[in-house]
Structure 1
Amino acid sequence: MIEFKEYQQAAQQTSRLALGGPQAAIAPMLGLAAGTGSILNVYRKYLRDGVDLAAYREFLREELGDLLWYVAAVATAFGLDLQDIATANLHRTRDRYPVGPPEQALMELPVFDAACPPQERLPRRLVVAFAEETLGSGRRAARQILLAAEPNAFPDGPVHGEAGKVAGYRVGGPLGDPLTDNSRRSDAYRYHDAIHLGFLAVLNWSPTTRALLHLKRKSDPMADECEDGARAVFAEEGLAAVLSRLAVRHAGFQSEASVDGEVIEVARAASMDLEVQSLPVWLWRRAIQQGFQAMRHLAENEGGYLAVDLDARELTYHKVLP
């Protein structure tokens, strides 16, 4: 069994091309294009004439080998290590697509507040009602009410901690103030807390929702300041605002496939140096899609109910109380 590093070295020894410097990459890149064309030509025959691909097995084996040789030559020309390229590529693909059964992949994800006292942990299941109302100004607004939280560390409602600061939430009570679209045109942004609840359900992360629930991690000064503080809240709010703009040209993020690399780069930039940055790309896709899908349902029905399940990593919309 040959390693990529050994293969690259051996390929260089068999080369008749000058491989020193980027200019020397032109010839092997032309080889990559030609080899790819040869394989496409076989596939064209398969589509047009229905040829048996098994008859081309040896040909494809040789062409793929040539492609590998040219890849090694391009890497050498640019001073890159083929072994490092292969390792980085596997890491990248595993980041974008879960390995193994989805249930197993979800179980292996971190729970950021697992080591905290119960009074600082996020409930694992919540039900939040959204109701639309008209303010005195005539503008439409959406109000959130927490209907259920399990486990509920505050059965008697919020408590007052150090310096009189409130900790905890009240089931049946509001979550924050009514929100308008904060825009000259109506675009349903009044329901954008669905985006935050998508993050909460799928990523198990939402500094904004944690702040509304008054669940700051006071027992961990670093988490209290850096993960639950104002900067993290502003980062998440900014991310939600930018995503809502990007959604216009990404089919509203109604499918995970619509959450492309550009969107992921935005999410990664907003979450840099926060605990959530360690989570894989495929999970971000799921969180964004579920949040925006729930937001659309709320807007279309002028309210409804969102069920948040942090264990299943799932946010679902319901017209009637689930």
Structure 2
Amino acid sequence: MVEARSDLFCKSSGSVSLEEYQALIKETDRFHDDSFTPIIFGLFGEVGSIMSASKKYQRETKAYIGYKEAVEEEFGDALWYYTALCRRLSESISELFYAAVDDQSSGVIAACDHENAPLSQLMTAKYLENLDCSLLSLGAVTAEMLKIDDFKKIKKETLVDFARVYLQALQSTDLSFARIIKGNVRKAFGRFSNPRIDDLPDFDLEFPEEEQLPRKFEIEITERKNGRSYMRWNGVFIGSSLADNIKDPDGYRFHDVFHFAHAAILHWSPTFRALIKQKRKSNPLFDETQDSGRAIVVEEGLTAWIFSYAKDVDYFNGHDSISFDVLKTIEKFIRGYEVEKCPLKLWENAILQAYDVFRKIKENNGGIVIGDRDSRTLTFRSIGGKNDD
């Protein structure tokens, strides 16, 4: 399976084959094979992002937190678009990088995992030069591609020029080429590839049943005349009654739906665990670091932030994807917690399923939320009615 190969690729140590990278990354390319314009624009944009990140670092030095990670990500994204372009032009990036370093040897070219040594054949700072000069050259050669009337006619020499200045810029930043490539594969597959259920983490499987989130659950949500929502699970009321707590009603009183989605689809929800009193107390470390106050605050804060965003996009009605910027912000929110092991594509699935149920709950002023951890789904059923898939 592609997912398994990409996982091994990311975990492997040592140098990375550019041929394998080009073959793998094809699986994450959602553009049509004849689409050149968005690829060129994307490449130009990512090169600009590299230059922007470098500018921020030079201006703010230590105040610019995460500079290295940001530049690594932008270099990886630029390589992704470059590779997508080369594939459309039937060019091998391995051969292009060979040509870029004037290497006539045979074999498989690879990205080295040592810093300041982008290729395994290039173990010295042969092309090392001023970072600003390298980045200006990278921007210039990318801009030349924009001037070509027919992108299908981009010459091999131009692609080799890009590979050469890309390596020069990379060496000038003292970054590991292999680390950049591995990070880009993780990002691309985590964002675009539908994960196999069997490959996804199950965070409480090794704990006693009474400390696990329920594998299947049905929770009834009702609204009373006072405008507050109430929840009942297995005939017992759970949690507190909720109001929207805002001047203009927006349905946030039903926001526990999002925690239920986290539990069913991500197999994570410290808030839901607290509601049903199924924290993992048999392991004090998990109880303290994954199931207690701070983790609950993180989930509640993240839920409120996504809700504020969702209000501006009609609660994701009609959407089949989530902005990558939103997903990257989520990634920062959950850093350090077990759920960070879930790919961003799974987060996207959780959000879209959650808001589909939320809209129906809001429309009906209540309903039954059905969670199934085995299938990683969340569905809605009207009270006294049939499932609404």
Coarse TM-score class (shorter-chain normalised)? 0.7 to 0.9
User: How far apart are residue 12 of structure 1 and its match?
Assistant: 8.0
In 2 relative to 1, CA 32–121 (structure 1 residues): closer, same or farther, beyond 3 Å? Answer: same
Question: Partners of 1:215 and 1:316 in 2: how far apart?
Answer: 22
Cα–Cα, structure 1 residues 9 and 249, in superposed 2: closer, same or farther, change >3 Å?
farther
Deviation (angstroms), 1:97: 2.4
Query: Which residue does 2:161 correspond to in 1?
Result: 66
Is the contact between residue 131 and residue 169 of structure 2 (CA under 8 Å) also seen in structure 1? no
Q: Deviations over 1:186-208 (max 9, x none)?
A: 11001101111111111011111
* Matching of residue 114 in structure 1 with residue 205 in structure 2: yes
- Match of 1:86, SS state, is helix
Distance 1:60 1:321 in 2: 60
Whether 2:190 is the aligned partner of 1:95: answer yes
Q: 1:105 aligns with which of 181, 196, 209?
A: 196
In structure 2, the residue matched to 1:149 is none
Moved more, 193-202 or 263-272: 263-272
In the TM superposition, what is the alpha-carbon distance from 1:183 to its structure 2 partner? 1.4
Classify the secondary structure of the residue corresponding to 2:224. Answer: strand
TM-score (norm 1): 0.76
Q: What's the offset of the Cα at 1:31?
A: 0.6
1:21 matched residue in structure 2: 131
Larger radius of gyration: 1
CA contact (8 A) 2:119 2:177 kept: no
Task: Give the conservation status (yes or no) of the 8 Å contact 2:261–2:350.
Answer: yes
Q: Distance in 1 between matches of 2:290 and 2:185?
A: 30
Distance 1:200 1:176, change over 3 A: same
When the two chains are superposed, the root-mean-square deviation of aligned CA atoms in Å is: 2.5
Following TM superposition, by how much is the alpha carbon of 1:261 offset from its aligned partner in structure 2, in angstroms?
Answer: 3.2
Match of 2:367 among 278, 286, 304: 304
Contact preservation (8 Å) 1:145, 1:173: yes
Distance in structure 2 (CA, Å) of the matches to 1:82 and 1:270: 27
Unaligned 5+ segments in structure 1 are 44-52, 147-170
1:127 aligns with 2:239: no
Structure 2: gaps spanning 5 or more residues: 1-107, 112-117
Secondary structure of the structure 1 residue equivalent to 2:175: coil
Of the three residues 156, 178, 183, the one matched with 1:83 is 178
Equivalent of 1:192 in 252, 255, 268: 255
Correspondence 1:245-260 to 2 at 5 A: 245-254=308-317, 255-257=319-321, 259-260=322-323
Counterparts of 2:172 and 2:237 in 1: how far apart (Å)? 62
Amino acid at match of 2:358: M
C-alpha distance in 1, partners of 2:265/2:301? 19
1:32 to 2:123 alignment: no
2:345 aligned residue: 282
Sort the Cα spacing of 1:277 and 1:256 in 2 relative to 1 into closer, same or farther, 3 A. Answer: farther
Q: What TM-score do you get using the length of structure 2 for normalisation?
A: 0.63
1:35–1:266 Cα change, 3 Å: closer
Query: What amino acid is the match of 2:173?
Result: F
